[in-house]
Structure 1
Amino acid sequence: MTDEMVAPDADRLRRLIGGEALAWLVERARQRIARDASLTGTVTLPAPTQEQRRALAALLGRRPATGSSLTVNLRDVDELLRNTGHGGLVAAVTALSGPVDSVPDVRRRAETAWRKAFRPLDEAVAGRPELGSWRAWLDATGLPRRLAPDPADAAVLLGRLALVLGRLPSPSIPLGRLAAETCGDAHALDDERPLATLVLSAIRALAGRSFTAESSAEARRATWASAGVHLDELSSTVLTLGLAADPATPLGSVLGAQTAAGEPTRLTLRQLRRHSTPIKAARVHLCENPVVVAAAADDLGPECPPLVCVSGRPTAAVWRLLTLLSDGGATFLYHGDFDWGGVGIAASVHARFGFIPWRYTAADYLAAPSGRRLRGRPGPTPWDPSLSAAMISRTLCVEEELLLAVLLADLSKS
């Protein structure tokens, strides 16, 4: 049996080096062992107490040191422990404070655990290239590791994240139901919960927006809505003008009265979910900003053709109304802001329903008056790929308000 394999006498070892006064020496040796460093060279204790001076002197058989610090050569301690039958410094430290995990081994085990925790998410993202840059962003920012520092907790969190993403975007689903069906907890996606933070960042990625968190509750509500998730049936609404539906239905009765009066109508998701039949319309103009609807009501009143405002990021109510109109055979004509946020909104509508651009092409953009500086991340414009290139080149945004006169002229001729 080698010296290192000799089992130290526990009582003798504690009397020799296991006291409180020499705990610093044992800890320094333990740190060296954990780093796989050799137990050679010196270690120093600044400002030692008299008790620590006497304990080290007794261990080494020397007079107590009088300097401002204590310095000891680890090789001397190792040899002393071997010569006294305690198997050396490694065996002594292990006997006194338990097995020492090496730092490299601890790191390797931790990284293995983290890779395992991320596996369900990686599998969920593998078939969705639109989430690729978001997945890389999670690694770059370390957000999941901050939200769940322990890999075991992270495995639960990321597994739930993968399940939720598998359900998004949704045609329409309440937030609590989505949470209950994917996580077994109706509150798992509540504000400030770690899972909600991650899911919202993924939804923003799906919309081609910045992945970072919004500051307001309204912005988060809109983000959920852009993926077809609504917080309740009454707060999710859509603004319309000139729309008609079966007058024998409650929804048709409301729309009929408002259209006859030339007044805009704000419909709730509750109303639209309770209307089960398609809404028939040949052509429906879509705009991004409520100012277009207000101006159309002022100028055209009852003569305004069907007009729907997506009001920024479409809510669940917007998606529900567009579905009813699409099922009824409607063709959509779309206009929005010429900025990257507007492009992202338009792209989400185009992906679901398709549309004819309504003065929303590269030619229209280049002919429009100059606006403020264009900011944000560029996105594709599949209805006219040259539009994205033109916006990148011109670097100016053009908001709908600057084109209001021409948009109203188009509506008056429809």
Structure 2
Amino acid sequence: MSASSTGASRGTEAARDVERLRRLLGGEHTAWLLDRVRRRIELGRPLTGTVTLGRASADQRRGVERLLGRRAGTGASLSVSLDEVDAVLRSSGAAPDGLAAAVRQLTGDVTERAELAAAQSRAWAQAHQPLDDLLARRPELTPWRSWLDSTGLLRRLAGTPDAAGPLAADLLRVLDALPSPGVALGRLAATSTGDAHALDDGRPLATLALAAARVLGGSHPAGDGSAAGRRAAWAAVGVHRDELSSTVLCLGLPGGADSPTGRILAICREAGEPCVLTLRQVGPGQDRGDLGVGLGVVYLCENPIVLASAADELAGRTPPLVCVNGQPSAAVISLLAALAGQGARFAYHGDFDWGGIRIANGLRERIGWRPWRFDARSYQAALTTVTGGELVGRPVDAAWDPDLRPALEHHAIRVDEELVLAELINDLGAPHAW
């Protein structure tokens, strides 16, 4: 017999075996048995023992009888020995390789759930690997990475490992650009991902990147859910919504006549009025001109009340004063960078609480400053004259004074800038020689 004839004969025989298998096990009345066996394979359980069908129909009972070649008993339930089924299939030639092979032949390949889970775990680990690599370069992001694991946020936002990979790659490009000396949110999105709206509120990438920005700014990755909180978190890493929404409040900056920004400052200084400048006016690349401070001192406060009180009480006698207004915006950082570039020095005061210290630490990393009544000695002195509130939150070291944290922890009292306004205004009325 030729090879081709032998092959054809074997093919015909195999087809007959498959047909016999379908008649024995592939009918609608044995479908329940097929489903039970397939589920056992998926769960990695052995195909031994018995399976039972409650309230079996007469047709289902006859289907099992045809399969086993014997009566299937009486009663409402129907029990079938998987060992017996396996033996019947092998001995009949319908499935020489046994019950498991028969199920795969009739229903398609079966992946064990443990194997599937292991494959999924490997795929997710691979999707997270770029973020793990990031920590080697940016250990300060460790709290954010741990939070991602605890919340499963990347999994929930991406849905599948295949979708998580590109999302993580975009995320890394965004985070590699942070903190920024000042960039619009849309521009950051466009240059990092090619999509100017990828960092819009509610987008998966924005949710992940914003959580990281909060950590870089010294906050919890979850944030408070408010629009103001999102703006502040982006601002803390030098990202602004646009050139007009990011502003800086200042008072007493001399300005000059050689640029529009300088002329605006000069007019406000002459009138003794506060001035609000946008990032468009003070950002990198803008024509800021000579801001008039030169090598002089610029006082920095955390809260607008200090600047407003100085305007009320000192009018045109106020030395240069800039309010960082909580987490410094891109406009604040840009103005201070411009002043520093022209030789200015800075004296800073903020709230004596953990949030105030975090703001001051972040600012100090960008702009060098000396404390202005903002050290452990000043805190102790303030407690002798004012009644502060309860100190709450997560403690943090003060980069400029190692004694400040222990003092705050010991007394557990916060002192807001509003409580020491008199001393601050006195200083501004008769500036120290720094």
Category of TM-score, reference length = shorter chain: over 0.9
Report if aligned partners of 1:374, 1:396 keep a CA contact under 8 Å in 2.
yes
Instruction: Identify the residue that residue 402 of structure 1 maps to in structure 2.
Output: 419
Q: Does 1:382 align with 2:399?
A: yes
Report if aligned partners of 2:346, 2:368 keep a CA contact under 8 Å in 1.
yes
- Show structure 2 runs of 5+ residues with no match: 1-12
Amino acid at match of 1:28: R
Task: Work out the CA distance in 2 between the residues paired with 1:152 and 1:397.
Answer: 49
Task: Work out the CA distance in 1 between the residues paired with 2:188 and 2:164.
Answer: 20
Q: How does 1:9-408 map to 2 (within 5 A)?
A: 9-48=17-56, 51-60=59-68, 61-63=70-72, 65-67=74-76, 69-85=77-93, 86=95, 87-273=97-283, 274-277=286-289, 279-281=291-293, 282-368=296-382, 369-408=386-425
Give, in angstroms, the shift of residue 62 of structure 1. 2.3
Task: Work out the CA distance in 2 between the residues paired with 1:283 and 1:267.
Answer: 20
Relative distance call for 1:7 and 1:177 in structure 2 (3 A) is: farther
Task: Work out the CA distance in 2 between the residues paired with 1:358 and 1:203.
Answer: 28
Relative distance call for 1:35 and 1:291 in structure 2 (3 A) is: same
The one-character-per-residue Cα deviations of 1:296-320 (angstroms, maximum 9, x if unpaired) are 1111111111111111111111111
Give, in angstroms, the shift of residue 227 of structure 1. 0.8
Give SS of 1:101's match: coil
Task: Work out the CA distance in 1 between the residues paired with 2:149 and 2:413.
Answer: 33
Give SS of 1:332's match: strand
Report if aligned partners of 1:57, 1:65 keep a CA contact under 8 Å in 2.
no
TM-score, structure 2 as length reference: 0.89
Task: Work out the CA distance in 2 between the residues paired with 1:230 and 1:140.
Answer: 29
Task: Work out the CA distance in 1 between the residues paired with 2:348 and 2:257.
Answer: 27
Give, in angstroms, the shift of residue 17 of structure 1. 1.6
The one-character-per-residue Cα deviations of 1:268-299 (angstroms, maximum 9, x if unpaired) are 11111323445342111111111111111111
Relative distance call for 1:41 and 1:268 in structure 2 (3 A) is: same
Give, in angstroms, the shift of residue 261 of structure 1. 1.1
Give SS of 2:51's match: strand
Relative distance call for 1:21 and 1:340 in structure 2 (3 A) is: farther
Task: Work out the CA distance in 2 between the residues paired with 1:246 and 1:7.
Answer: 95
Report if aligned partners of 1:279, 1:327 keep a CA contact under 8 Å in 2.
no
Give, in angstroms, the shift of residue 43 of structure 1. 2.8
Relative distance call for 1:58 and 1:362 in structure 2 (3 A) is: farther
4+ residue stretches of structure 1 with deviation over 6 A?
A: none
How many residues in Structure 1 have an aligned counterpart in Structure 2?
408
Task: Work out the CA distance in 1 between the residues paired with 2:399 and 2:14.
Answer: 74
The one-character-per-residue Cα deviations of 1:53-72 (angstroms, maximum 9, x if unpaired) are 443344343246432x4433
Report if aligned partners of 2:256, 2:290 keep a CA contact under 8 Å in 1.
no
Report if aligned partners of 2:178, 2:237 keep a CA contact under 8 Å in 1.
yes
Task: Work out the CA distance in 2 between the residues paired with 1:391 and 1:43.
Answer: 69
Amino acid at match of 2:402: P
Relative distance call for 1:332 and 1:91 in structure 2 (3 A) is: same
Amino acid at match of 1:93: V
Amino acid at match of 1:25: L
- Show structure 1 runs of 5+ residues with no match: 1-5
> Which structure has the greater CA radius of gyration?
2
Task: Work out the CA distance in 1 between the residues paired with 2:290 and 2:60.
Answer: 86
Task: Work out the CA distance in 1 between the residues paired with 2:58 and 2:349.
Answer: 82
Relative distance call for 1:108 and 1:277 in structure 2 (3 A) is: farther
Instruction: Identify the residue that residue 429 of structure 2 maps to in structure 1.
Output: 412
Relative distance call for 1:338 and 1:52 in structure 2 (3 A) is: farther
Report if aligned partners of 2:214, 2:220 keep a CA contact under 8 Å in 1.
yes
Relative distance call for 1:57 and 1:207 in structure 2 (3 A) is: same
Give SS of 2:109's match: coil
Give SS of 1:208's match: coil
The one-character-per-residue Cα deviations of 1:6-26 (angstroms, maximum 9, x if unpaired) are 978322222222233333322
Instruction: Identify the residue that residue 3 of structure 1 maps to in structure 2.
Output: none
Relative distance call for 1:384 and 1:83 in structure 2 (3 A) is: same
Amino acid at match of 1:66: G
Report if aligned partners of 1:278, 1:327 keep a CA contact under 8 Å in 2.
no
Amino acid at match of 1:386: D
User: Cα RMSD between the aligned structures?
Assistant: 2.0
Task: Work out the CA distance in 1 between the residues paired with 2:26 and 2:223.
Answer: 52
